[in-house]
Amino acid sequence: MTTTTRPADLFRHGLRLLIDKDISGWIDLWDEGGVLEFPFAPEGWPKRLEGRGAVADYMRHYPDHIDLHDFPDVEIHETGEPGTIVVEMRGVGKLVETDVPFDMRYIAVVKVADGLITRYRDYWNPLAVLQGDAADFTRRDR
């Protein structure tokens, strides 16, 4: 990605990397000081990750637990603030451990500067995954 990459294009590229299970490539889209926040995170799950390294540690085992197949519904809304987009999307796939279908709707507020993600607020629904721990790739015992 170049510094002239539009936030929407960067975001769509990131979704493709997640589907391809290229977590390393997805992490490369982050600014060194980028912040990932989960305002609706349930008890015991991280609410804020500071820095590319923390985001990498968090995402490292994602494909071992959630096998994303597609993001069939993605709407990216430009905002009046330069470099900021609001995204409505749906991710589908399966939980690797149980082979149960995974179908999650998200809203994200993403800020991009110099072609890199500097802040990502992920408003996901924790009720959709609290029926067991098959999707909990954040557990330290994995």
Determine contact, residues 29/20, Cβ cutoff 8 Å.
no
In terms of pTM, does the model score above 0.95? no
Question: What pLDDT sits at residue 43?
Answer: 86
For residue 122, count other CB atoms closer than 10 A to its CB.
16
Question: What pLDDT sits at residue 4?
Answer: 59
Q: Mean of the pLDDT values across residues 42-55? A: 94
Q: Mean of the pLDDT values across residues 28-41? A: 97
In this predicted model, what pLDDT tens digit does every residue of 73-130 receive, in sequence order? 999 999 999 999 999 999 999 999 999 998 999 999 999 999 999 999 999 888 766 5
In this predicted model, what pLDDT tens digit does every residue of 54-75 receive, in sequence order? 999 999 999 998 999 999 999 9
Please report, as a single letter, which amino acid is at residue 64.
D
Alpha helices in the chain (DSSP H): 7-19, 23-27, 52-59, 62-65
